[in-house]
Amino acid sequence: MIKDRGMKKWQGMMLPEHVRLLGDRRRSLMKTGRPELDEQELQSIQEILEKLMKYSAEADYKLWENGEFQTYRGTITKIDEYNRQIHYIDSFSNRCEPLSIDNIVDISPL
């Protein structure tokens, strides 16, 4: 009498290539399109940036990068209009990589 486990022996078998492809597929489905900001929203972001720079206030910056939204928190130290970047320090007074002004979707002052 043969004691075959049937489908049980094949249920947990996944090749590393399959796992990687499934992960890539899941990440691509989670990506969102770039939000289109109208003129009024862009003007509002510019005004908030100017106020934050003037008063050295801390804020949350929501950016769209590679199909995903990223949030950063910090205080603006410099606005580089030529390269269209914001230089900032985080809550622990560490200098961080500059943020692209073109990728900013929303700013929330704290």
Q: Does domain 39-109 have CATH number 2.30.30.100?
A: yes
pTM: 0.72
Q: What is the pLDDT of residues 18-31, one digit of tens each?
A: 889 999 999 888 88
Q: What is the pLDDT of residues 47-90, one digit of tens each?
A: 999 999 899 899 999 999 888 899 999 999 999 989 999 999 99
Contacts of 103 (CB under 8 A, 6+ apart): 63, 64, 65
- Check residue 9 and give left, alpha or beta (phi > 0: left; psi -120 to 50: alpha): alpha
